[in-house]
Amino acid sequence: MTFDASLMSISTLSELLHEGQSAFLCYDLGRRVQPISTNVFQAVEQQRTPYPYPVQGHACFALVFWPQLATSEQDPYLWFLKFPLDERGLLEASHVQQFITSVITLLGQQVTHALTPEQEQQIQQSPYLFTPIEAKRAALHAQLAQVWQRPASVHYELALTALQQPEHWQQVGVQGLHDVAARLAEQTQVCDAIATQFLTYPQPLRQALAAALEHQQLPPGLAQSLGRQLQQCDADAARVDLLRSVAGGIDNAEVVAGIQHILQQPSQDEVIVCTARLWDAFDPVRQHAVPLQQLLDAMAQLPADYFAGLLSDLLRLPMLRPHLLSTLQRDDLPQQIKAAWQHFTGVATHAQ
């Protein structure tokens, strides 16, 4: 293949897709499946701002792109990408450049052309491509179908029925549940069914539904109901599922009260869910927010390596980092949090 040598000056994925005459959307896949605006993504690429939703020191996202002149029926192309971040939370530009160079070498400007089997095999060997879990792929497809006003999958109707009549749950497909979760705003009866039956659903159905709900914005009424159930539920497994389910409803005061209730005596899994899926519930600028100190107190009850891992991850979140550091440096910090923080900083200093 031949290509214009000037393409080798491209330094961002946005530039690469622009040169390929492609439009694109970006979605985070690391924590919750959610869109990242083009302006924010380009600022991230240019290292003008940290990646907004890092997880374990990486940016994990989907680039969804298509030829600018494509018809509405044409399926888009997908790259699931994972790049390391530096200590400031910025994309490691050298790794992005390696991926761009490999794509240009392989495809030139034809990034939106159909790949040959050989090209497909070669590009899939990139260390920067990864395969998200099935639930995240299903959440992305459900959200894209909504954005482009496309029909739900063939699994949608069965999922609707099963959530209202759970005796049919064994045949429900994962994609169907995600399609329902993405369309809850137009499905009042299903919202009512979930609100009244969530805790009595068979465990496999409840867990799969929780994995679908956590990536969507919850209608206020459903969020309120699930938040109240959080305040009353005593079964550990069901509490984890409830926590995941309300990740898209943290603007609701009942949800915030439910998270606070859980954190009074949380299990290890519940603390992990709070940091991985509900991190923005602890942002002090919110009208309804869970105090950061309550989360830190719950984390400090865990073994030191868990505290260190969770705190390292939270400190990379741009929205939480300054508030976390401010809280951790308070003179009146409870002794157990202070000890865990001192151990963390001592280990970090020794590692340097």
Amino acid identity, position 232:
Q
pLDDT of residue 263 exceeding 80, the answer is yes
Report the alpha-carbon distance of residue 268 to residue 277 in Å, rounded: 14
Tell me how far apart the terminal alpha carbons of the chain are, to the nearest angstrom: 46
Q: Does any domain span residue 134?
A: no
Residues 6+ apart with CB under 8 A from 131: 80
| pLDDT tens-digit series, residues 127-181 | 999 999 999 999 999 999 999 999 999 999 999 999 999 988 999 999 999 999 9
| Rounded-to-integer distance, Cα 44 and Cα 258, Å | 34
User: What are the φ/ψ torsions at residue 179 (nearest 5 degrees)?
Assistant: -65, -40
pLDDT > 50? residue 121: yes
Residue 25: what are its φ and ψ, rounded to 5°?
Answer: -125, 155
Any domain includes 76: yes
Residue 347 lies in a domain: no
How far apart CA 250 and CA 275 sit, in angstroms, is 13
Is the per-residue pLDDT at 1 higher than 50? no
Examine residue 110 and state whether it is found in any structural domain, yes or no. yes
Q: What pLDDT does 10 receive?
A: 86
Token representation of residue 143: 């959200």
Whether 92 and 3 have beta carbons less than 8 Å apart is answered as no
Which pLDDT band holds residue 6 (cuts at 50, 70, 90)? low
Query: Rounded to whole angstroms, how far apart are CA atoms 226 and 127?
Result: 40
C-alpha span between 262 and 270 (Å, rounded): 8
Q: Which residues span the domain enclosing 35?
A: 5-124
Write the pLDDT tens digit of every residue in 282-320.
Answer: 999 998 999 999 999 999 999 999 999 999 999 999 999
The string of pLDDT tens digits covering residues 196-244 is 999 999 999 999 999 999 999 999 999 999 999 999 988 777 999 999 9
58-67: strand order across its sheet: 34-36, 22-28, 58-67, 77-84
> Are 185 and 146 a contacting pair, CB within 8 Å?
no
Q: 151: how many CB neighbours lie within 10 A of its CB?
A: 8
Query: Is residue 81 a contact partner of residue 62, using CB atoms and an 8 Å limit?
Result: yes
**Would 219 be classed as within a structural domain?**
no
User: Residue 186 corresponds to which tokens in the numbers above?
Assistant: 């137009």
Is 268 among the domain residues?
no
- How many domains, the chain? 1
Is 70 exceeded by the pLDDT of residue 322? yes
pLDDT attached to residue 109: 63
Q: Please check whether residue 318 lies inside any domain of the structure.
A: no
- Residue 22 in any domain: the answer is yes
Range 296-324 burial, b when 16+ CB lie within 10 A, else e: bbbbbebeeebbbbbbebbbbbebbeebb
Q: Which residues contact 75 (CB under 8 A, 6 or more apart)?
A: none
Task: Look at residue 2 and tell me whether its pLDDT is greater than 70.
Answer: no
pLDDT at 247: 96
The beta-strand segments (E) located in the chain are: 22-28, 34-36, 58-67, 77-84
